[in-house]
Amino acid sequence: MPLINYYEILEIEQTSDASVIRAAFNKLAMKYHPDRNLGDASAEVMMKTLNEAIAVLSYSRSRKAYYKKLAEEKGQSFVDKSYDDTPKNLEVDLGDGIKLDLVFIPEGTFKMGSLRMGGYENDMPRHEVTLTNPFYMGKYEVTEQQWQVVMGRNPSCFKGAKLPVNQISWNDAKEFIKKLNAKTDGGYRLPTEAEWEYACRAGTTTEYSFGDYITPKDANYDDSNKGKPVAVGSYKANAFGLYDMHGNIWEWCEDWYGGYPGWPVEDPKGPALGQYRVLRGGSFAVNASRARSSSRIICAPALRFHVNGFRLVREEL
C-alpha cells in the first residue's frame, strides 16, 4: 500500500518547519471538522488523515523516519536535510543591549549515568536514554546582567556583569523564566536532567566532555584555586559549543530527584513529585569528581546558595 504523502495533504513543502505544519493542519482541520460536515464520510476520512499527519510530522524523530520511507518508496537515497534550515545559533535581544546566546542541540541517544563504583551510587546505573526532540540550550550560564535586565535586581553573592548569576534558588530560576517568557516569544524553561547530561557529554562517554581527567586549565573547580565563579566562557567549549558545563556554578535542572532505571528510557523527566530538585555540573567550590558529566546533587527548591545558578533551554520553535 503506497505511503500517504502528508505534505501533499497539508499543501506544504517537505522542508516546512513545525510552525508551518501546525498552521496548515489548523486551516484544514477547520474545513473538514465533523461538526461542520455532519454525515459527510469523506470529511471524516480526511480528518482522520490530518490527525495522522500531525502526529507523524510534529516530532522530529517520527518526521525523519517518515522522510526516509518516502524516499525509499520513490527509489531515492535518503539525505537527512531536516535541520538544514534550522539556525544552529540564536541571539536573543533581552533589552538594554543585553543578548542571550543559544546553541542548537539535535535529538539523539546516549548513555546516562556513571559506571564507577564507590561513592557514585546516585549516578548509577548507567542506562540508555533517547531524546526524541531537538532543543536550544544557553551557550553560557545565565549571567548577572541578563538576570538584571529581566528581573530588575541582582541577588548574587559574587558580583560581576559577566559572572553567572549566583545565590539562586530553583524557585527563583522559575520566576526568571516566567518573566523572560512574557518578555519574549517564549518557550524557555530549565533543562531536564537528561537534556543537561546529553548536552554536557556532546557525544562523549568519558568522565568529562574532554576526557577522563580534568585540570585547572579545563574548568573552574576547587583545584583551580579561584575561590569564586569566573566570567562565563572563560574555558574551552564542548563539542556542541556550550561553555562551563564543568565547574564554575551548579546548574538547576527541572527534575525532582529520583533513582535511575536499569533499562532504556525515552524523554525522561524525573519523578512526578519529590522533596529535592537536581543540580548538575559542579562549581568552583567542589572537587574534580563533582564536576563529572554524570555527577548530580540535590537541594530543596526554595534554598539559595552562593554556588547555585542555572542555564536555559528553549524549545525548537
Coil, strand or helix: which one is 244? coil
Same-domain pairing of 155 and 227: yes
On whether residue 160 sits in a domain, the answer given is yes
The residue from 73, 97, 127 where one domain ends is: 73
Same-domain pairing of 121 and 229: yes
On whether residue 255 sits in a domain, the answer given is yes
Here the cell at position 151 is: 528581573
- pLDDT tens digits, residue range 8-17? 999 988 777 7
User: How sure is the predictor about 292, in pLDDT bands with cuts at 50, 70 and 90?
Assistant: very high
Strand order in the sheet with 250-256: 296-299, 277-280, 250-256, 308-309
CATH number for the domain that contains residue 18: 1.10.287.110
Give pLDDT, residue 15: 73
Same-domain pairing of 249 and 130: yes
Spatial separation of the C-alpha atoms in residues 133 and 294, rounded to whole Å: 21
Give pLDDT, residue 16: 78
**What domain range includes position 116?**
89-315
Backbone angles phi, psi at 254, to 5 degrees: -70, -30
Same-domain pairing of 279 and 242: yes
Spatial separation of the C-alpha atoms in residues 104 and 84, rounded to whole Å: 12
Same-domain pairing of 144 and 281: yes
On whether residue 235 sits in a domain, the answer given is yes
More confidently predicted of 80 and 224: 224
On whether residue 83 sits in a domain, the answer given is no
User: How sure is the predictor about 227, in pLDDT bands with cuts at 50, 70 and 90?
Assistant: very high
- Residue 147: is its pLDDT beyond 90? yes
Same-domain pairing of 194 and 166: yes
- Residue 63: is its pLDDT beyond 70? yes
Average pLDDT over residues 243-262: 97
- pLDDT tens digits, residue range 99-134? 999 999 999 999 999 987 555 678 889 999 999 889
More confidently predicted of 288 and 62: 288
- Residue 182: is its pLDDT beyond 70? yes
On whether residue 159 sits in a domain, the answer given is yes
Please state which of the ranges 30-44, 60-74, 271-285, 303-317 shows the lowest mean pLDDT: 60-74
Task: Give me the number of domains the chain comprises.
Answer: 2
Instruction: Rounding to the nearest 10 degrees, give the CA dihedral for residues 172, 247, 253, 261.
Output: -150
- Residue 78: is its pLDDT beyond 70? no
User: How sure is the predictor about 77, in pLDDT bands with cuts at 50, 70 and 90?
Assistant: low
- What's the chain look like in SS3? CCCCCHHHHHCCCCCCCHHHHHHHHHHHHHHHCHHHCCCCHHHHHHHHHHHHHHHHHCCHHHHHHHHHHHHHHCCCCCCCCCCCCCCCEEEEEEECCEEEEEEEECCEEEEECCCCCCCCHHHCCCEEEEECCCEEEECCCCEHHHHHHHHCCCCCCCCCCCCECCCCCHHHHHHHHHHHHHHCCCCEECCCHHHHHHHHHCCCCCCECCECCCCCCCCECHHHCCCCCCCCCCCCCCCCCCCCCCECCEEEEEEECCCCCCCCEECCCCCCCCCCEEEECCCCCCCHHHHCCCCEEEECCCCCCCCEECCCEEECC
Backbone angles phi, psi at 255, to 5 degrees: -70, 145
User: How sure is the predictor about 81, in pLDDT bands with cuts at 50, 70 and 90?
Assistant: low
In percent, the amount of the chain with pLDDT more than 90 equals 71
Give pLDDT, residue 34: 81
Spatial separation of the C-alpha atoms in residues 206 and 292, rounded to whole Å: 9
Same-domain pairing of 54 and 106: no
For the chain, what is the mean pLDDT?
91
On whether residue 80 sits in a domain, the answer given is no
- pLDDT tens digits, residue range 259-285? 999 999 999 999 999 999 999 999 999
Coil, strand or helix: which one is 177? helix
Spatial separation of the C-alpha atoms in residues 223 and 125, rounded to whole Å: 28
- Residue 252: is its pLDDT beyond 80? yes
Residue whose C-alpha cell is 518547519: 17
Same-domain pairing of 236 and 98: yes
Average pLDDT over residues 142-158: 98
Which one, of 125, 281, 264, 304, lies nearest residue 199 by Cα?
Answer: 281
Spatial separation of the C-alpha atoms in residues 285 and 309, rounded to whole Å: 13
The residue from 15, 45, 73 where one domain ends is: 73
On whether residue 1 sits in a domain, the answer given is no
Same-domain pairing of 181 and 213: yes
- Residue 154: is its pLDDT beyond 80? yes
Helix or strand (DSSP H, E) at 136: strand 135-138
Give pLDDT, residue 79: 59
Same-domain pairing of 210 and 69: no
The residue from 41, 73, 105 where one domain ends is: 73
Give pLDDT, residue 317: 63
Same-domain pairing of 256 and 131: yes
C-alpha to C-alpha distances, 84 to 33, 53, 90, nearest whole angstrom? 34, 22, 15
User: How sure is the predictor about 293, in pLDDT bands with cuts at 50, 70 and 90?
Assistant: very high
On whether residue 102 sits in a domain, the answer given is yes
Give pLDDT, residue 110: 94
- Residue 248: is its pLDDT beyond 90? yes
CATH number for the domain that contains residue 168: 3.90.1580.10
Same-domain pairing of 227 and 308: yes
pTM of the model: 0.79
